[in-house]
């Protein structure tokens, strides 16, 4: 089923508000000498400042919308692609049925081929070779963590106050050593230290150093960990997703409950949260090096049907989705956590996986106050600093109690989607 | 032992401070079991556990506001098929009539819809607020949108009072002047400026008490203008000024020069070193613009230019005086435009290559949406005559290529104008069709 695009869904694909605004400016049909569709592929020519118009296309055959543009923008989708999608969603402009130009057909064929390509089952790896590779890596990681333990002990012996005088180069150098030791997860945590270093009471940094030390100790005692706990440890250390350990979910029907894109060091990371009919939560992660395109992703509050598999974990959350088909727009369901249960849910999750950074939760019925999401009993959770503004949240709730899906990190809640109670699906 | 105490040791360093003993709490008992070989390891292990404990045990805050009262849903929400069209129409010049259609049918918008429109069209704040449904008004009660609307509403009411005052002054000079004085007393400095504008447009001898009263106003600008306006009334002051004017503004051929003079006492004293006040400002401002021209026997533009040359602000003052004296334009009936007019416009773009936005807006607003507009056929390229001297560094071929490119861009611009206009007409047709369905 081709994707039902709405302007809101297109807006959600924008990499940043500036791109969306620029895309909206391009929704004047006068700026498009050609607007055409070839089945579920839309394409057009956008008149830029140069002599030749840019050739822009969007492949809407699958829910993970893909776009292509001949402009030199490093944003993805670029403003031209957003303009094209907005025009298409609004039904504006003179659209003609026309075959895609040759420049685009190669790209489309490639996408088609990749989609149709039968999934190649991972080769039965040579067990001996695999063990050898793992042993080599394990040795490297072990050495890295041993060095980390020493570094942490030195840091605590000298004191955080003394460390405040260190230059950024030193922290970056330590992070780089962790990357060399194939511990990118640890490197990321070390790069966060300078942000916490100048906090007056030092509590956050002390806890952060403890977090790093826990990784060291867990590694030392890894033989006593369960398979799932071991997988969580490896994930926290920065090992890539182990596809061999994926477990197929019982359900194929999901609601895109929201997504958020963030810059993490040199990476752009997108977290897309899915909600199952039974209240299951799944997290899809997309990564792209900075300034590289990140796929357009799934529009929020749309139903999806596809094969979802959870990564191995004591608290299953991260997942991969394949063969997703769009099922049209839908509201959040009315089966949610009460705010009072949020702490317990988080504590349980943390008890299973102490490395967990956040969980996706559906809360409700709630209302919004300045800096807070509140329930009718008068309890409240603090809103994340990058939460949408209060007017926007209250307008979505429309004076009603509302259901809200968002991320909880134990301290703040980041709302991603809101549905008023009367519109929530039963 | 809490994270705070551990942090105090971590700040100073274990070389200088001891790891604090665990407290007698369940957490403390767990921490006590974490005893490593070195104080650093003990501190780090306990920090890990305390950190996890703090993360897991965050206590919920107390809600700062009670839940809002759920209001009844909108009785006449905007029909769903019109919403995407409204958003598109708001991007073009036909938005006013679309918003008018909404209010005429008493359709309302939700807070979320209004915020979306406001985000992309902040200038429409005053038009959007009245369209909000009851829920929306409750949600956005403290939003800047409301303040903007209230301000605009107050301004509109004030304008209506000024219009009524103008009519009253025309109908009965005595009653009109008395009404002006009454309004003067109840309004602020901004309002008084508006009243002085009205007086400048058509001053009445009955306004003299007001002008004398205004000489004691708190605002220096109001006092200055009140003094100057007394010169607009026939009488000894005006006679004195008319006698002085030809000595001050001297005409030599087309050239006007300003000579030094002594400002009559009745006009007060100009502020020293002020860009917007001088003896000349006061003298020229104390006579109606038309009378200045008549006495000096000059054209308006000639006088303005000479004043601008003297000081830019003096020029501006005279321009303002001229504007205020011009009769107010009556609202014009919408122009009748045809597809033929549009075709002519496209042809002119093909020639000039520039699209005039105001003409585009006129067509977009007033052209019959059922009009069939043929796409402008590109004009054939006729190379213009080569100039005798080409721009430096240009060859004949380059120059010809540039002419061709320019011609092509003119044709493309005309086609783009046609596309934009036909799209707006299509939207208006679609809008009208759906409106018909919901009649």
- Find out whether B241 and B280 touch, Cβ atoms under 8 Å: no
pLDDT tens readout for residues B90-104: 888 888 899 999 999
* CA dist., res. A91 & res. A89, Å (int): 6
* CA dist., res. A420 & res. A423, Å (int): 6
Q: Flag if A391 and B58 touch (Cβ within 8 Å).
A: no
B168 CA to centre of own chain: 31
* CA dist., res. B139 & res. B116, Å (int): 14
Whether A91 and chain B come into contact, CB under 8 Å, resolves to yes
Q: Flag if A380 and B41 touch (Cβ within 8 Å).
A: no
pLDDT one digit per residue (tens) for chain A, 426 residues: 345 677 777 877 787 778 888 888 888 777 888 888 888 899 999 887 777 789 999 988 877 778 889 888 878 888 999 999 988 887 777 788 888 888 888 888 888 887 777 766 656 667 888 889 889 999 999 999 999 999 999 999 999 999 998 888 899 999 999 999 999 999 999 999 999 998 889 999 999 999 999 999 999 999 999 999 999 999 999 999 988 889 999 999 999 999 998 888 778 899 999 999 999 999 999 988 876 667 778 889 999 999 999 999 999 999 999 988 889 999 999 989 999 999 999 999 999 999 999 999 999 999 999 999 999 999 999 999 999 999 999 999 999 999 999 999 999 999 999 999 999 998
- Find out whether A402 and A382 touch, Cβ atoms under 8 Å: no
Q: Which of B58, B71, B115 sits opposite A399 (nearest CB)?
A: B71
Candidates A167, A204, A208, A176; CA nearest to A189 is A208
Residues 6+ apart with CB under 8 A from A351: B56
Q: Which of B15, B43, B139 sits opposite A394 (nearest CB)?
A: B139
* CA dist., res. B166 & res. B184, Å (int): 14
Determine the distance in angstroms separating the CA of A226 from the nearest CA of chain B, rounded to an integer: 20
* CA dist., res. B46 & res. B65, Å (int): 38
pLDDT tens readout for residues B105-153: 999 999 999 999 998 888 888 899 999 999 999 999 999 999 999 999 9
Determine the distance in angstroms separating the CA of B132 from the nearest CA of chain A, rounded to an integer: 11
Contacts of B56 in chain A (CB under 8 A): 343, 346-347, 350-351, 410
Which of A47, A200, A219, A395 best tests the B interface by mutation, with the highest count of B CBs <10 A?
A: A395
Q: Flag if A392 and B115 touch (Cβ within 8 Å).
A: yes
Residue B167's SS3 state is: helix
Start-to-end Cα distance in chain B: 73
Q: Which residue of A has its CA nearest to B59?
A: A343
Whether A260 and chain B come into contact, CB under 8 Å, resolves to no
Q: Which of A90, A213, A422 sits opposite B44 (nearest CB)?
A: A213
- Find out whether B57 and A343 touch, Cβ atoms under 8 Å: yes
Determine the distance in angstroms separating the CA of B5 from the nearest CA of chain A, rounded to an integer: 9
Percentage of chain B modeled with pLDDT above 90:
70
Q: Flag if B58 and A410 touch (Cβ within 8 Å).
A: yes
> DSSP of A64-114, one letter per residue?
S-EEEESS---SSS-HHHHHHHHHHHHT-S--EE-PPPHHHHHHHHHHHHH
Contacts of B38 in chain A (CB under 8 A): 153
Reported pTM: 0.77
B78 CA to centre of own chain: 27
B406 CA to centre of own chain: 35
Q: Flag if A205 and B73 touch (Cβ within 8 Å).
A: no
* CA dist., res. A251 & res. A361, Å (int): 18
- Find out whether B74 and B108 touch, Cβ atoms under 8 Å: yes
The confidence score (pLDDT) of residue A293 equals 67
> Is residue B76 exposed (0-12), middle (13-18) or buried (19+ Cβ within 10 Å)?
exposed
Summary mean pLDDT of chain B: 91
- Find out whether A410 and A350 touch, Cβ atoms under 8 Å: yes
Q: Flag if A217 and B68 touch (Cβ within 8 Å).
A: no
DSSP state of B218: S
Candidates B195, B199, B173; CA nearest to B186 is B195
- Average pLDDT along chain B, 439 residues, taken 10 residues at a time: 88 94 89 91 96 89 93 95 90 87 95 92 90 96 92 93 94 94 92 93 92 91 92 93 94 90 91 89 94 93 94 93 80 81 94 87 91 92 85 87 90 90 92 91
* CA dist., res. A282 & res. B124, Å (int): 41
Whether B58 and chain A come into contact, CB under 8 Å, resolves to yes
The confidence score (pLDDT) of residue B393 equals 86
Contacts of A192 in chain B (CB under 8 A): none
Q: Flag if A399 and B110 touch (Cβ within 8 Å).
A: no
Q: What is the dihedral of CA B40, B43, B45, B46, to 10 degrees?
A: 170
State ipTM: 0.79
Cross-strand pairs, A415: A406
Residues 6+ apart with CB under 8 A from B428: B89, B94, B369
Q: Which residue of B has its CA nearest to A377?
A: B63
- Neighbouring C-beta atoms of residue B33, cutoff 10 Å: 10
- Find out whether B293 and B242 touch, Cβ atoms under 8 Å: no
Q: Flag if B56 and A410 touch (Cβ within 8 Å).
A: yes
Residues 6+ apart with CB under 8 A from B436: none
Cis amide linkage into residue A77, ω under 30° from 0: yes
Q: Flag if A399 and B52 touch (Cβ within 8 Å).
A: no
Q: Flag if B51 and A207 touch (Cβ within 8 Å).
A: yes
Contacts of B73 in chain A (CB under 8 A): 422
pLDDT tens readout for residues B181-220: 999 999 998 999 999 999 998 899 999 999 999 999 999 8
């Amino acid at each position: 089923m081709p994707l039902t695009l709405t302007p809101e869904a297109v807006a959600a694909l924008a990499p940043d508000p500036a791109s969306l605004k620029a895309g909206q400016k391009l929704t004047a049909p006068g700026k498009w000498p050609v607007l055409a569709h070839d089945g579920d592929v839309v394409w057009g020519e956008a008149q830029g400042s140069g002599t030749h118009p840019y050739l822009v296309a969007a492949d809407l055959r699958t829910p993970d919308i893909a776009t292509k543009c001949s402009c030199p923008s490093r944003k993805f989708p670029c403003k031209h692609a957003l303009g094209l999608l907005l025009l298409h969603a609004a039904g504006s402009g003179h659209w003609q049925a026309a075959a895609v130009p040759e420049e685009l057909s190669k790209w489309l064929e490639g996408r088609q081929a990749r989609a149709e390509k039968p999934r190649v089952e991972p080769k039965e790896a040579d067990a001996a070779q695999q063990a050898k590779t793992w042993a080599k890596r394990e040795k490297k990681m072990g050495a890295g963590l041993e060095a980390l333990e020493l570094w942490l002990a030195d840091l605590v012996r000298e004191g955080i106050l003394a460390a405040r005088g260190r230059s950024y180069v030193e922290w970056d150098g330590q992070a780089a050593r962790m990357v060399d030791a194939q511990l990118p997860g640890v490197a990321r945590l070390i790069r966060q230290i300078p942000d916490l270093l100048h906090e007056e009471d030092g509590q956050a940094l002390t806890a952060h150093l403890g977090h790093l030390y826990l990784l060291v100790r867990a590694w030392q005692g890894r033989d006593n960990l369960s398979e799932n706990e071991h997988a969580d440890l490896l994930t926290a250390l920065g090992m890539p997703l182990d596809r061999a350990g994926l477990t197929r979910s019982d359900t194929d029907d999901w609601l895109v409950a929201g997504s958020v894109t963030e810059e993490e060091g040199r990476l752009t990371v997108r977290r897309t949260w899915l909600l199952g009919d039974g209240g299951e939560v799944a997290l899809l992660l997309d990564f792209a090096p900075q300034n590289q395109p990140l796929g357009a992703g799934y529009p929020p509050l749309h139903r999806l049907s596809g094969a979802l598999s959870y990564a191995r974990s004591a608290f299953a959350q991260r997942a991969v989705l394949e063969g997703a088909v769009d099922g049209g727009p839908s509201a959040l369901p009315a089966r949610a956590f009460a705010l009072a249960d949020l702490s317990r849910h988080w504590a349980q999750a943390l008890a299973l996986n102490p490395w967990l950074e956040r969980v996706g939760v559906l809360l409700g019925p709630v209302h919004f106050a300045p800096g807070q999401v509140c329930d009718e009993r008068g309890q409240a959770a603090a809103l994340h600093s990058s939460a949408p503004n209060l007017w926007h949240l209250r307008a979505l709730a429309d004076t009603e109690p509302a259901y809200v899906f968002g991320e909880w990190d134990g301290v703040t809640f980041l709302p991603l989607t809101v549905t008023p109670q009367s519109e929530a699906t039963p | 032992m809490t994270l705070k105490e551990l942090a105090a040791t971590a700040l100073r360093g274990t070389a200088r401070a001891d790891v604090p003993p665990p407290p007698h709490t369940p957490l403390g008992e767990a921490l006590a079991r974490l005893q490593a070989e070195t104080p650093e390891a003990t501190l780090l292990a306990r920090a890990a556990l305390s950190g996890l404990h703090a993360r897991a045990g965050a206590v919920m805050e107390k809600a700062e506001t009670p839940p809002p009262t759920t209001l009844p849903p909108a009785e006449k929400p905007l029909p769903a098929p019109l919403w995407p069209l409204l958003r598109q129409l708001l991007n073009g010049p036909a938005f006013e009539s679309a918003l008018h259609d909404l209010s005429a049918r008493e359709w309302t918008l939700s807070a979320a819809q209004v915020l979306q429109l406001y985000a992309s069209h902040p200038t429409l704040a005053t038009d959007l607020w009245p369209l909000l449904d009851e829920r929306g008004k409750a949600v956005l009660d403290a939003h800047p949108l409301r303040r903007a609307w209230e301000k605009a509403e107050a301004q509109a009411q004030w304008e209506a009072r000024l219009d009524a005052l103008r009519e009253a002054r025309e109908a009965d000079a005595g009653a009109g002047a008395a009404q002006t004085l009454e309004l003067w007393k109840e309004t602020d400095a901004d309002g008084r400026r508006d009243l002085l504008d009205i007086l400048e447009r058509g001053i009445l001898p009955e306004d003299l008490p007001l002008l004398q009263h205004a000489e004691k106003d708190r605002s220096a600008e109001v006092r200055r203008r009140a003094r100057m306006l007394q010169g607009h009334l026939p009488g000894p002051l005006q006679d004195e000024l008319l006698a002085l004017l030809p000595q001050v503004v001297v005409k030599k051929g087309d050239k006007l020069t300003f000579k030094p003079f002594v400002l009559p006492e009745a006009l007060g004293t100009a502020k020293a070193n002020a860009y917007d006040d001088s003896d000349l400002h006061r003298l020229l401002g104390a006579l109606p613009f038309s009378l200045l021209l008549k006495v000096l026997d000059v054209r308006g533009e000639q006088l303005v230019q000479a004043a601008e040359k003297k000081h830019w602000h003096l020029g501006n003052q005279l321009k303002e005086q001229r504007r205020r004296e011009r009769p107010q334009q009556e609202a014009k009936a919408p122009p009748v435009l045809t597809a033929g007019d549009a075709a002519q416009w496209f042809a002119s773009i093909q020639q000039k290559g520039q699209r005039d936005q105001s003409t585009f807006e006129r067509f977009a607003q007033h052209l019959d949406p059922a009009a069939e507009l043929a796409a402008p056929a590109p004009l054939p390229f006729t190379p213009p005559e080569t100039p005798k001297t080409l721009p430096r560094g240009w060859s004949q071929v380059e120059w010809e290529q540039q002419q061709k490119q320019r011609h092509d861009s003119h044709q493309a611009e005309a086609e783009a104008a046609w596309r934009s206009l036909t799209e707006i007409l299509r939207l208006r047709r679609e809008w009208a069709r759906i409106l018909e369905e919901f009649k």
